[in-house]
Structures are given as structure tokens and as C-alpha cells.
Amino acid sequence: MEKLNLSYGRKRVFKLKTFLILLFISLLPAVSFFSVSYQIKIMKISKLLRAYPEVFNNLSSTNLDLIEGQVDNLVVSLSDKEKERIKSNEEIRAYIMDVYRDTYFLRFFFNEISKSSNKFFLSGVMYDGQRFYIDYYEYGTTTQLSTETVYSELGKYYKDLTVQILDEKNFLGDIKYFHYVWEGKK
Amino acid sequence: MEIRLAIFSNRVVVYNLNEGQASTLVAKYRNNKMRIKSYHQRFVPSDPEDMVVVNVPWDIVQTAFLELPPIKKDIDRIRVAELELRRIYNLSEDINVSCIPSLFGKYFVLFVRRTDFIRFLESNGLNFTPDIAYPNVLSELLLVKKLPGRWLYIVLGEYTSGIVVMSGNFITNFRIIDISTNEISHLIKEETGFELYEIETSGNEELIEQSRKILDTISSDIISIISREIIISTNTTELEKISIDSIDGIVLVSKSKMIRDTIFSAESDIIRKFTDPVYLVKIYPQLSMSELGLLYRGGIELGKVKSIIW
């Protein structure tokens, strides 16, 4: 008796208003998710900006959409600067080395002769900015300046290095003199 | 602007249409409870999303007891019943059919001609098909607890009355009887100037006494009609052989206490078998029982109805 119904089927319809309200409600989670994630993004970006003021104080605008582009630009410009600095570093280094080599051969020579107990007579030094030429006489029983040492030390900095004994003569008693010539190119 | 999410609130609108008069009852169904929102003594348009329940008068309804083969699906059973009815009654037009299971494999089948149904709806201002159409008398009976055994239920409605012979929950016979409580109320109104319902609820001793006297004069008529119809009903029950002695009792369903008292006061063997109904929900005197019954039927469509609250 409870199921009795003398009416034939009725189409169940939904009002447009109900449909729109349901649509709105179903879109709410998506919209809220996106707005929350946008808020979190902004929070994190602000935190980053505050944490690295040295880098970000040079930002021209605070529009959060352009930040990504600006950060990329910053990275590029900073890496350019880095390359520049490295280059100038290299140049300075090269320059220092260059200047060092202008006088190193002499300092080395004086260092060596002061270590030695023999007497030395420097007869001539020539340097034109590229090539050096040392001409000296060593007086002693034996030569105490080892050519290997000279080659190994000066060879680090100079090219076309030659150490020649031009002459070896007895001088007085068993004292000899050795006529050395050093040549080299920067 | 109140945003009504009709899809969640299950509104039920009941139209009680009788003899050109209409009334609208609006309620919301939630949690097995029907909550009445408003009641109007006129036709109030409904929302397209509401569940609409309408009564059907017996002048367009026909019934039959048919033997139908056991079929699982209701739709198929209705189709078979429709074919059977067309064959028996030689019908060619569209009909709306509904079946109530009865005893011994038979079904109590009710049908209306679709044209009659549409004409009935349109003449009362309804230009759409309702969700549920439920006939008078049976709507009142829906609110009464069905007792086990063989019982007669005499429903005295405002416009239509009937006798329903039942065995437990199954209808075995149905008869319309020629009593209308509205007519009785008109009689009383002619004499006292007030309707029976008004007098009953007023508590005015003088009017009540006056009405009682009027009812006494017509009580013998009423009782003789009822007794005759009871005998005819028991004799014409074809599904099983019953007699006045074999039935367990007769339940008198009437909203008017005075009419009930008048009938119960008569001395007769049949009247001795009369008893009061047990209602499944609270009966509100402002509403007619058929309106409450239709509301109950609307609620059943949505789930169980444990109570009706106003």
C-alpha cells in the first residue's frame, strides 16, 4: 500500500540557481587551493628577499611576477662580473709575474753567489726587457754554482736558458777562474 | 534573499484537491521526520524541485483484483497488469496503473484514464504532472496501524468514505460508501451556524450538546448504511470466505470525535465489534487526515517516516 502511485513518471529537474550554487561550491576547493598556494609562494619569496639583502637590494621592482626574470638577469650579470673579476685577476697575476721576471734572474744570481764561498766578479749584465745576459767570473778551487740548479730554478720562469762556461783558467796557485755566461728569454 | 538549496532539503508539497477546493501543505523531510512548514487553504505554486503529492478522487479511479505471475520488477508487473486490464475492460486509451500486492498471488490493481487524470489536475490549477497521486480513503488509511488478522477499516473522510477489508497488511476488498463528513458538517452548520470541526474544538458545551442532538437524529441512518455496507463488503470478498463472526474487528477511522461517539453509542452486534484506530503519527486537528496521509506517502518516497512535526 505504501508504494501505490497513480501518477506516471515526472521528470526531476533542478533549478538553474541550484546548479550554479553547486558549481560554485564544487569550484571552491580548487580556487582556495590556488589562492593558498599563491600566498605561500609570496611568503617564501619575501623570506628569501629578506634573507639575502646584498643580492636583492638591487632589484628594480617589487612586482612578484617579474622576480623570476629579474633573478635570472641578476644571475647572468653576477656571473659576468665574476668572469670579469677572474679575468682581471689573471691579468694582474700575469703582470706581477711579468714584473717579477724582470728582476728575478738578478736576485737569483745574487742569492746564489752569496750562498757560495767563492769570489765573483760581475763583468756585465744586459737586459732589454725580453732577454737577459749575465757575464761573470767565479774565482775558486771549484765551481760551486751548479748548473743544474740554475737550469731548474731559472727554467721555471725563463725560456731558451743557457749557462755556458766560456773559459776556465788557472789564476793563482790552485785557484781557478771560471767565466760563465747566463742567457735567457722571458 | 534566502538561498534555498532545494537539493539538500527535500521539500514535499501536498495538494488536496476536492470539489473545486484546494489546499496546500508544505513540509521538509529530514532524518526520518516530516517537518510541516506551512499550510494554506488555497493553491500555492510549488518549486520545480519539490516533491509534489496529489490526491485522486474516486470518481475517476477504477479497481480490480487480478492474478499476476510472479515478476521481480515493478515496472514489468505494471505493464502486465495494464495489458490484462486492457483485455478485460476493452480499453484503448492511455491508463495509469498501480498494483498493491494482496493474498494468494493476486494483486489489488487501481487505474485511471490518463485524460481523466490530466483533466482533474488542470481543472484544479496543476499544469504539471505530480510525483505521486494517491487516492482518497487509502491516504487516510495509511496513517492507521494495520492489525494482524482479518479486520475491516471504515474510513469516514470529508468527501469520500470507504470500507477496506484487510487480512494483516493485505487488502482483500474495497468499497466506497455514501457518507461524507462534510455533508454532516453542513447539516450541523445549517442548524447551529458553525462547522462540526469548529464546535468540537471550541469546547462550547451548549453547541456541543446541540450538535449531539442533531447527530442523534441522523445516527440511525448512518448506522444502517454502515451496517449494510459491512455485510456487503464481507460477502463480496472473493479472495477468501469471511463473515461478520469470523472477522477479528472493525476499526472506525474518523477525525470527528462526535461522529465516532454517535456511532459507538448505538446498540448492535456489529457496533460491538467496533474499535478505535491506532495512529502511526500525531494527528493535527487543523489538517484533514487525507492531507496528513498524503504527506506521509510523500515522506515514504524519501525514506522512513517516524513522525510528523509542526
Using CB atoms, pick whichever of A5, A10, A13 lies closest to residue B98. A5
Do the domain assignments include residue A2?
A: no
Shared domain for A75 and A21, answered yes or no, is yes
Beta strands in chain B (DSSP E): 11-18, 21-30, 33-40, 51-56, 61-67, 95-101, 106-113, 132-135, 150-156, 161-167, 170-177, 249-254, 274-275, 307-309
Shared domain for A80 and A113, answered yes or no, is no
Find which of A4, A13, A24 to mutate to test the B interface (most B CBs within 10 Å of its CB).
A4
Q: What percent of chain A has pLDDT over 90?
A: 27
Record: contact B98-A18, CB cut-off 8 A: no
Shared domain for A80 and A108, answered yes or no, is no
Please identify, among A56, A84, A112, the residue that sits at the C-terminal boundary of a domain. Answer: A84
Nearest to A74 by CA among A48, A43, A40, A47: A48
Do the domain assignments include residue A9?
A: no
Shared domain for A80 and A114, answered yes or no, is no
Q: What is the DSSP string of B172-233?
A: EEEEEES--HHHHHHHHHHHHSS-HHHHHHH--HHHHHHHHHHHHHHHHHHHHHHHHHHHHH
- Summarised one tens digit per residue, pLDDT across range A10-46 is 777 777 887 888 899 999 999 999 999 999 988 988 8
The pLDDT of residue B144 is 95
Task: Decide: B85 and B66 in contact? Cβ < 8 Å.
Answer: yes
Do the domain assignments include residue A167?
A: yes
- Count of domains observed in chain A: 2
Residues of chain A positioned with their CB less than 8 A from the CB of B98: 3-6
Shared domain for A114 and A76, answered yes or no, is no
Q: Which domain holds residue A61?
A: 16-84
Do the domain assignments include residue A119?
A: yes
Shared domain for A121 and A149, answered yes or no, is yes
Shared domain for A70 and A116, answered yes or no, is no
- Summarised one tens digit per residue, pLDDT across range B294-304 is 999 999 999 89
Shared domain for A131 and A71, answered yes or no, is no
Using CA atoms of A118, A123, A126, A131 in order, give the dihedral in degrees to the nearest 10: -50
Shared domain for A121 and A59, answered yes or no, is no
Residues of chain B positioned with their CB less than 8 A from the CB of A2: 142, 297, 300
Residues of chain B positioned with their CB less than 8 A from the CB of A22: 7
Q: Quickly state the pLDDT bin for A175 (edges 50, 70, 90).
A: confident
Report which residue type is found at B283.
I
Residues of chain A positioned with their CB less than 8 A from the CB of B155: none
The residue of chain A nearest to residue B138, with distances taken between CA atoms, is: A1
Find which of A1, A10, A11 to mutate to test the B interface (most B CBs within 10 Å of its CB).
A1
Instruction: Quote the DSSP letter at residue B285.
Output: T
Please identify, among A50, A84, A118, the residue that sits at the C-terminal boundary of a domain. Answer: A84
Q: The whole model's pTM is what?
A: 0.70
Do the domain assignments include residue A72?
A: yes
Report which residue type is found at A85.
R
The pLDDT of residue A61 is 65
Q: Quickly state the pLDDT bin for B266 (edges 50, 70, 90).
A: confident
Distance from CA of A10 to the nearest CA of B (A): 6
Spatial separation of the C-alpha atoms in residues B194 and B291, rounded to whole Å: 22
Spatial separation of the C-alpha atoms in residues B162 and B152, rounded to whole Å: 10
Residues of chain B positioned with their CB less than 8 A from the CB of A15: 6, 47-49
